[in-house]
Chain A
Amino acid sequence: MFAKLPPLPPTASRSADNQTASATDIGRNHLAVPVPQDLDAEPHAEIVFNEDRDLITAHEDATMSSVLHIFDRHWHGIRSATACLPGGKLGISHKNAPTPDEIRHIEGLIFKHGFKTVCFQGYSEAADYLAEFLHRDFGSDLRLYVVTHVTTSQFEHAFEMAMLKRVYDKVGRGIIARAGSVKPNFHLFHEKTWPGCVINIPPALSRMVVALPKRESGTVFIPVENTWRKNLYTQVAAAQRSPKVGRVVLVNWPAHLDQLVTLNKIQVVGFQPREGLLAYMALAQLVTNVSFAECQPMTQLEALAVGTPALVGPLRLPGFSDHPLSKLCEVTELDDPGLLSRRMETVLDAWRTDSRGLVEMISDFVGQRVAAGLASYKEFLEL
Chain B
Amino acid sequence: MNGQPTAIEKRPGPSTPAQGASFVPFDGEINTQDLHLRLWRAASPRSDSQRRSTAEAGQKYLTARGCEQSPTVLFDAAHYLRQLPWFVRDCADPLDHYLRTGWALGLSPHLAFDTAYLGAALGIRAWTEPPLLAYFEHNEEVSPHPLFDLGVYARHIDTDRLPCARLFEVFIGCWRGAHAPFSRLFSIGFYSKFEPVVLSENVNPLMHYLTTEKERRRDPNPMLHNEWYDLRYPARPGQPADPLIRFARFGLKEGHLPNPFAARQMKLHDACVPVPRDLLLEYVDISGTNRTTERELGQTGMFRSAAQ
* A62 → B minimal CB distance (Å): 15
A47 and B261 contacting across the interface, CB-CB below 8 Å: yes
CA distance A49 to B264 in the complex (A): 9
* B residues less than 8 Å from A45 (CB atoms): 261, 264
Nearest-Cβ distance from residue B250 to partner chain A, whole angstroms: 21
Contact A108 B190 (CB under 8 A): yes
| A111 contacts B187, C-beta separation under 8 Å | yes
Closest Cβ neighbor of A113 among chain B residues: B289
Residues of A within 8 A of B291 (CB): 114
Q: Which of A101, A112, A114 contacts B223 (CB 8 A)?
A: A112
A105 within 8 A of B: yes
* A138 contacts B by Cβ under 8 Å: yes
Quick one: CB contact mask for A113-155 with B, threshold 8 Å, 1 for yes?
1100000000000000000000001100100000000000000
Complex CA gap A111/B218 in Å reads: 15
A104 in the interface (beta carbon within 8 A): yes
B252 in contact (CB, < 8 A): no
Closest 5 CB pairs of A and B: A108-B222, A112-B222, A111-B222, A111-B190, A114-B291
Per-position 1/0 for A22-58, Cβ under 8 A of B: 0000000000000000000000010111100000000
Contact count band on B: 20 to 34
Determine whether the beta carbon of B265 is less than 8 Å from that of A112: no
Q: Check: B225 CB closer than 8 A to any chain A CB.
A: yes
Across the interface, name the chain A residue whose C-beta is closest to B265. Answer: A49
Minimum distance in angstroms from A335 CB to a CB of chain B: 46
* Chain B CB within 8 A of A333 CB: no
B266 smallest CB distance to A (angstroms): 11
Whether the pair A111, B261 counts as a contact (CB closer than 8 A) is: no
Question: A109 on the interface (CB 8 Å rule)?
Answer: yes
Instruction: Please report which residues of chain A, range 289-316, place their CB below 8 angstroms from some CB of chain B when the two chains form the complex.
Output: none
Chain B residue numbers with a CB within 8 Å of A107 are: 193, 222
Which positions in B face A, CB cutoff 8 Å? 187, 189-190, 193-194, 219, 221-223, 225, 228, 259-261, 264-265, 286, 289, 291-292
Classify the interface of chain A: helix, strand, loop or mixed: helix
Instruction: Known A113-B289, A114-B291, A141-B292; judge A108-B223 contact (CB<8 A).
Output: yes
Whether B289 lies near A109 (C-beta < 8 A) is no
Determine the residue in chain B with the shortest Cβ distance to A48: B264
Q: Would you call A114 and B265 a contact (CB within 8 A)?
A: no
Residue of A nearest to B221 (CB): A108
CB pair B261–A49 under 8 Å, yes or no, is: yes
B193, B228, B264: which contacts A111 (Cβ < 8 A)?
B193
A141 CB contacts on chain B under 8 angstroms: 292
Contacting residues, chain B, for A101 (C-beta < 8 A): 225, 228, 259-260
Closest approach, in angstroms, between the C-beta of B292 and any C-beta of chain A?
A: 7
Known interface pairs A108-B223, A112-B223; A138-B265 also in contact (CB < 8 Å) = no
Which residue from B194, B222, B264 sits with its C-beta under 8 Å from A109?
A: B222
Task: Choose among A48, A105, A107 the residue with the greatest number of B CB atoms under 10 Å from its CB.
Answer: A105
In the bound complex, residues from chain A placing their C-beta under 8 Å from that of B225 are 101, 104-105, 108
Contacts of B259 in A (CB 8 A): 101, 105, 108
State the CA gap A224–B225 with chains docked (Å): 43
Assembly CA distance A49 to B292 (angstroms)? 22
Question: Residues on A close to B: CB < 8 A?
Answer: 45, 47-50, 101-102, 104-105, 107-109, 111-114, 137-138, 141
Contacts of B260 in A (CB 8 A): 101, 105
Q: Add 15 more A-B contacts to A45-B264, A105-B261 (CB < 8 A).
A: A48-B264, A49-B265, A101-B260, A104-B219, A104-B225, A108-B221, A108-B225, A109-B222, A111-B189, A111-B222, A111-B289, A112-B222, A112-B289, A137-B194, A141-B292
How far apart are B244's CB and chain A's nearest CB, in angstroms? Answer: 13
Which of B190, B223, B265 sits near A50, CB closer than 8 Å?
A: B265
Q: Which residue of A lies closest to B264 (CB)?
A: A45
B292 contacts which chain A residues (CB < 8 A)? 111, 114, 141
When C-beta atoms are compared, the residue in chain B nearest to A138 turns out to be B193
Please, how many angstroms separate the alpha-carbon atoms of A107 and B189 in the complex? 12
Q: Mind listing 15 A-B residue pairs with CB under 8 Å?
A: A49-B261, A50-B265, A101-B225, A101-B260, A105-B225, A108-B190, A108-B223, A109-B223, A111-B187, A111-B189, A111-B190, A111-B193, A112-B222, A114-B291, A114-B292
Which among A102, A112, A141 has the highest number of chain B CB atoms within 10 Å?
A112
Q: Complex Cα distance A48/B193, Å? A: 24
Which residues of B sit under 8 angstroms from A137, Cβ to Cβ? 193-194
C-alpha gap A49/B267 in the complex (Å): 11
Q: Give the distance to chain B from A327, nearest Cβ to Cβ, in Å.
A: 46
Give A104 to B194 CA distance when docked, in angstroms: 12
Q: How far is the CB of B216 from chain A (nearest CB, A)?
A: 16
> Given the complex of chains A and B, what is the CA–CA distance between A50 and B266 in angstroms?
10
- Docked Cα-Cα span, A108 to B221, in Å, equals 8
A229 to B225, CA, bound (A): 46
Check A114 against B289 for contact (C-beta < 8 Å).
yes
A24 to B286, CA, bound (A): 52
- Whose C-beta in chain B lies nearest to the C-beta of A141? B292
Whether A112 and B286, one on each chain, are in contact in the complex, defined by CB atoms closer than 8 angstroms, is yes
Closest A-chain residue to B226, C-beta based? A104
Give the docked Cα–Cα distance between A45 and B259 (Å): 13
How many Å lie between the Cα of A322 and that of B222 in the bound state? 49
Report the Cα distance A198→B299, complex, angstroms.
39
Say how far A381's CB is from chain B's closest CB, in angstroms: 18
Complex CA distance for A141 and B190, rounded to whole angstroms: 12
Q: With a CB–CB cut-off of 8 A, which chain B residues contact A108?
A: 190, 219, 221-223, 225, 259
Cβ distance A364 to chain B, nearest Cβ, rounded Å: 38
How many whole Å from A102's CB to the nearest CB in chain B? 8
Chain B nearest Cβ from A96, distance in angstroms: 15
A9 to B: closest C-beta gap in Å = 30
> Closest Cβ of chain B: how far from A85's Cβ, in Å?
20
